[in-house]
Amino acid sequence: MKLETMQSSEKPLAERVADQITSLIADNKFQKGEKLPNEFQLAEAVNVGRGTIREAIKILASRNIVEIRRGLGTFVSEKTGLTDDPLGLNFVEDKSQLALDLIEVRAMLEPDIAALAAKRATKKDIEKIKQACKAVEEKIQRQEEFITEDIEFHEIIARSSKNQVVPNVIPVIHSAIKEQIKATNAKLTEKTIVTHRAIAEAIAQRDYEGAREAMKEHLRYNQEHIERVVKEKL
Amino acid sequence: MKLETMQSSEKPLAERVADQITSLIADNKFQKGEKLPNEFQLAEAVNVGRGTIREAIKILASRNIVEIRRGLGTFVSEKTGLTDDPLGLNFVEDKSQLALDLIEVRAMLEPDIAALAAKRATKKDIEKIKQACKAVEEKIQRQEEFITEDIEFHEIIARSSKNQVVPNVIPVIHSAIKEQIKATNAKLTEKTIVTHRAIAEAIAQRDYEGAREAMKEHLRYNQEHIERVVKEKL
């Protein structure tokens, strides 16, 4: 206990400066994609040495809060603060169970998210959902890998829910699943086309119960598929 | 696009070393709480200079993957890889809406989590849930702040679901709510006691539909409460 308190009060200077810059970004003093002032200016503004600023910037880059572009400067990252593995899923011990646990969490979240999207999506959102649905189908028809398009489809629905937390959670879970179950989607092509269409259609028609049920159905067969894959692996 | 590719291929050496050490921890070469080899040994093992190791350790500390304890050495963090704000919620723009969005996500997750806990909790888990329930009540009776105990109650239920992802998601969402809605829980004491008891009781009796409904009810009045608080703020 004592140790922990000591830790936080004695946080290294560079980390405290990093936290300060983070607050500036969080308070919209700097926007996504915007270029930060240079080292000299930041050092002067925060009243620390340039070495400390340089260290703070490195910490911020490792947290995906800023992006260092060689020769161009430091910019506020577009995916502000989302690290590659924000939920520490790399550290989950039972990896073969992890894929099943991830789909279990998707089954909790995504049917409700689809229902919210049916209620709150703008006309523009609905267009994007239809396009994303089509993009998956085209990849499938060309017998190409479609994981990226598939994630995009679910992310657009997440954004259409207008819940600000959901679009930060969904990509994390999807990427983790992609990591766990690589190159197994090929077998799921037909069912993917049918159920994706049903989801997109229900959202377009503002049928929120229909959207919820279509997403449940979509995840149900995904779950069965992952269960088979995990069993084969064991 | 070109920039991004350049970025990742030209990741600074210290970050690549940090990733290497992360993999060692993720693969259980080092356990939670275990002390890492010292700088000399790590430098030799990874075949880089001590300066790079020191920088890599700082990156890992800023990601909560390791903890530097003065005079004692570097240890694998107990909350491996979970940063203070893993979902980048500090960067959500509409803060007054954020609390409502967070409770919306809780309402998606926690009723199902309670149902899973009712199915999968061990006898020991059930004892812990009952104790945590009692701890909240005691704080309420003494008219003391009970947020920490409240979060603990929900975290134990999350762990009892035996889903490995859920215990990483729930604390993040709860801490964010705590941040948004400070010191408003005082008014919710009676309903908290009643609904917490109903949740704990249903889980203890393996009544998973009951647990789901009790959690829904608990979150419903929490949502109403937060809606009132947000309206007052506006």
Residues B188-216 have pLDDT tens digits of 678 889 999 999 999 999 999 999 999 99
B 95-154 → A contacts, CB under 8 A: 97-98, 101-102, 104-105, 107-109, 112-113, 116
What average pLDDT score do residues A165-187 get?
A: 73
**Helix then strand then coil, % of chain A, to nearest 5:** 70, 5, 25
Would you call B109 and A104 a contact, using CB atoms and an 8 Å cutoff?
A: no
Per-residue model confidence as pLDDT tens digits over A103-147: 999 999 999 999 999 999 999 999 999 999 999 999 989 988 888
Question: Does residue A1 belong to the interface with chain B, where contact is any CB pair within 8 Å?
Answer: no
Question: What pLDDT is recorded for position A6?
Answer: 35
CA distance A110 to A106: 6
The domains found in chain B, sorted by start residue, are 13-76 (1.10.10.10), 89-233 (1.20.120.530)
Chain A positions in Cβ-Cβ contact with residue B15 (cut-off 8 Å): 62
CA distance B225 to B221: 6
What average pLDDT score do residues A162-180 get?
A: 83
Identity at B90, one-letter amino acid code: N
Element (H, E) at A76: strand A73-76
Chain A positions in Cβ-Cβ contact with residue B81 (cut-off 8 Å): 85, 87-88, 90-91
Q: Is the pLDDT score of B102 beyond 70?
A: yes
B94 closest CA partner among B172, B220, B180, B170: B180
E strands along chain B, which residues?
A: 66-69, 73-76
Question: What pLDDT is recorded for position B187?
Answer: 63
Would you call B15 and A62 a contact, using CB atoms and an 8 Å cutoff?
A: yes
Q: Is the pLDDT score of A183 beyond 50?
A: no
Q: Is the pLDDT score of B94 beyond 80?
A: no
**Helix then strand then coil, % of chain B, to nearest 5:** 70, 5, 25
Question: What pLDDT is recorded for position A127?
Answer: 97
Per-residue model confidence as pLDDT tens digits over A55-88: 899 888 887 788 888 888 999 887 766 666 777 7
Which residues, 6 or more positions from A66, have their beta carbon under 8 angstroms from its beta carbon? A21, A25, A36, A57, A60, A74, A75, A76, A77
Question: Does residue A9 belong to the interface with chain B, where contact is any CB pair within 8 Å?
Answer: no
Residue bearing the bigger pLDDT, B83 or B71: B71
What average pLDDT score do residues B166-174 get?
A: 86
Question: What pLDDT is recorded for position A156?
Answer: 95
HSE (CB half, 13 Å, CA atoms) of B169? 27
Identity at B19, one-letter amino acid code: D
Question: What pLDDT is recorded for position B86?
Answer: 76
Question: What pLDDT is recorded for position B184?
Answer: 53
Q: Is the pLDDT score of A12 beyond 70?
A: yes
Per-residue model confidence as pLDDT tens digits over A208-222: 999 999 999 999 988
**Closest residue to A88, CB basis, from B82, B113, B166:** B82
- A201 close to A208: Cβ distance less than 8 angstroms: no
**Closest-CA residue of chain B to A177:** B165
Residue B68 forms beta bridges with which residues?
B74
Would you call B164 and A86 a contact, using CB atoms and an 8 Å cutoff?
A: no
User: Considering chain B, what is the average pLDDT of its residues?
Assistant: 85
Question: Does residue A168 belong to the interface with chain B, where contact is any CB pair within 8 Å?
Answer: yes
What average pLDDT score do residues B25-41 get?
A: 85
- B131 close to B192: Cβ distance less than 8 angstroms: no
What letter does residue B162 receive in the DSSP assignment? -
The percent of residues in chain A predicted with pLDDT above 70, rounded, is 88
CA distance A191 to A223: 13
- Per-residue pLDDT band at A5 (split at 50, 70, 90): very low
